[in-house]
Amino acid sequence: MALTLTLKSGTSWSDAWRRCLEAAPEAFRDDRVLNLWDSSWQADGHALPATSPVDGSPIAGPPRLGRDSARRAVRAALDQHRRWRQVPLPERRARVAATLDALTEHRDLLALLLVWEIGKPWRLARADVDRAIDGVRWYVDGIEPMIGERVPLDGPVSNIASWNYPMSVLVHAMLVQALAGNAVIAKTPTDGGVACLTLACALAAREGVPVTLVSGSGGELSEALVRAPEIGCVSFVGGRDTGAAVATAVADLGKRHILEQEGLNTWGIWNYTDWESLTAVVPKLFDYGKQRCTAYPRFVVQRSLFDEFLAAYLPAVRRVRVGHPLAVEKRDDPYPELDFGPLINAAKAKELSDQVAEAIDRGAVPLHRGRPADARFLPGQDTSAYVHPVTLLNPPPSSPLHHAEPFGPVDTIVLVDTEAELLAAMNASNGALVATLATDDQETYDRLAPQIRAFKVGRGKPRSRGDRDELFGGFGASWRGAFVGGELLVRAVTRGPAGERLPGNFPEYQLMP
């Protein structure tokens, strides 16, 4: 008999919104969030309607600015930058540390906002907040040797990031950039996260950290946030199409840049027998529905091992848990343990479902399709943003699933017979952020791994973006500009000696750390 679920007590959107009004009344109005620029919260911009991917219910939308307001915001940020870069490092450390204390105090509210705005299960939402706080504390504690004789940039850092990691990627980067002596500007992602980012920026602004937060379309704001002469560096996280336009602009202007773009991260299987380890890791690879830049949506499998691969893979993928992130049996029960909830919106869910159907029509073989009956939903809730796990064998070359990252819970499998075919299939997207080669033989790994065009390659284990002193970047079209992570993030947003060449992937050179 199916269970009848209910919403966990105290976790409704209205509960979260009320807590936002109490925590930061300067940044939230009765029915909308505000933009933050020129050191004050502004009730400008046109607030668009928005719905939660969790159940299709209304939530706060981004207050979109036009070009003229964005230009004024950037000019004001330059004034903030010129003042902030003169603030001694000990005071910058104290203000950023105070911000981290405030974020810690409101940790659960920030996580709840992530659940409603971008559909993260509670465990992953909390982890996103914690990684931001813990990661920046590492920089606060060890910033002096990273700075050394380096100085802030000539203008503020402009951040344009995707919606999937508002805290551990975007807020983390902003606070480290500020710690290094720069004013920071961020555009709220169009698809979600505006309330979470607004609360985080309100807490930072209270401590005197020079933060600007604006909303708007990329086309409307790119002239100000990318091309404006006041901008000292552009930091971008997103897809290749938008990233290519940003890359062209910053190259034309000779502007400092960090552009993290998508790539098809692959997991190769070659002369491998540790199937128990693969079975254990498969559900983890579905965290957040593979809506991560370091997700693994492609398995490249030695044909002679395909039967053993399936015997290990299929039982694992059938255990993946999907559902409403706040649905419980009793209102005071713990949060449900899920691998993922909805995709970012119903349009993305339809697009991905259509791609799957088209791939099957053109010859892909469906090996697994999750059942809605196995998911945890509230009675009668809108489920239009949910896609259940799918596994396809041999997607046709005409399908986007053959060559591009699906950014959703779809695995594709390609079979190969030779090492050359293995490498070609693992390098299908002209560069990736991460890859894994699962092989029993160390010599085989040592010989093949350097030929895989990914910034990080694991042996039988997934690689991630990393925290603290772990470096991060990409090869080929997956990354442009300076690499980050550890001290490289500080180097990317400061100036060193004349003629310095930063580690990174640039049109004129590629320099590994």
The type of residue at 394 is N
Number of other residues whose CB lies within 10 A of the CB of residue 441 = 12
Q: Which residues contact 205 (CB under 8 A, 6 or more apart)?
A: 36, 39, 211
- Cβ proximity of 62 and 215 under 8 Å: yes
- Cβ proximity of 300 and 428 under 8 Å: no
pLDDT tens for 430-462 read 899 999 999 999 999 999 999 999 999 999 999
pLDDT tens for 347-361 read 999 999 999 999 999
Q: 297: closest CA among 352, 234, 357, 215?
A: 352
pLDDT tens for 461-500 read 999 998 899 999 998 889 999 999 999 999 999 999 999 9
Number of other residues whose CB lies within 10 A of the CB of residue 280 = 12
Enter the tokens of residue 60: 């706060």
Enter the tokens of residue 499: 């003629």
Percentage, residues of the chain above pLDDT 90: 88
SS3 of 113-132: HHHHHHCCCHHHHHHHHHHH
What is the model's pLDDT at position 10? 97
Burial class (CB in 10 A: 0-12, 13-18, 19+), 69: buried
**Where would I find the beta strands (DSSP E) of 49-201?**
50-51, 58-59, 63-64, 151-152, 157-160, 184-187
The DSSP annotation for 253-281 comes to: HT-EEEEEE----EEEE-S---HHHHHHH
pLDDT of residue 381 exceeding 60? yes
In angstroms, rounded to a whole number, what is the distance separating the alpha carbons of residues 513 and 508?
Answer: 16
pLDDT tens for 8-26 read 999 999 999 999 999 999 9
- Cβ proximity of 264 and 429 under 8 Å: yes
pLDDT of residue 69 exceeding 50? yes
Q: Which residues pair with 50 in a beta bridge?
A: 59
In angstroms, rounded to a whole number, what is the distance separating the alpha carbons of residues 38 and 329?
Answer: 47
- Cβ proximity of 159 and 170 under 8 Å: yes
Burial class (CB in 10 A: 0-12, 13-18, 19+), 384: middle
pLDDT tens for 202-234 read 999 999 999 999 999 887 888 899 999 999 999
What is the model's pLDDT at position 363? 96
What is the model's pLDDT at position 1? 43
Q: 403: closest CA among 477, 468, 340?
A: 477
What is the model's pLDDT at position 2? 61
- Cβ proximity of 305 and 278 under 8 Å: no
Residue with the bigger pLDDT between 45 and 206: it is 206
Report, as an integer, the average pLDDT of 277-305: 97
In angstroms, rounded to a whole number, what is the distance separating the alpha carbons of residues 39 and 210?
Answer: 7
- Cβ proximity of 264 and 403 under 8 Å: yes
Report, as an integer, the average pLDDT of 44-59: 94
The predicted model scores a pTM of 0.96
Mean pLDDT of the chain: 95
The type of residue at 154 is D
Rounded to the nearest 10 degrees, what angle do helices 275-285 and 306-317 cross at? 40
Strands 46-47 and 6-7, sheet pairing: unpaired
pLDDT of residue 184 exceeding 80? yes
Percentage, residues of the chain above pLDDT 70: 99
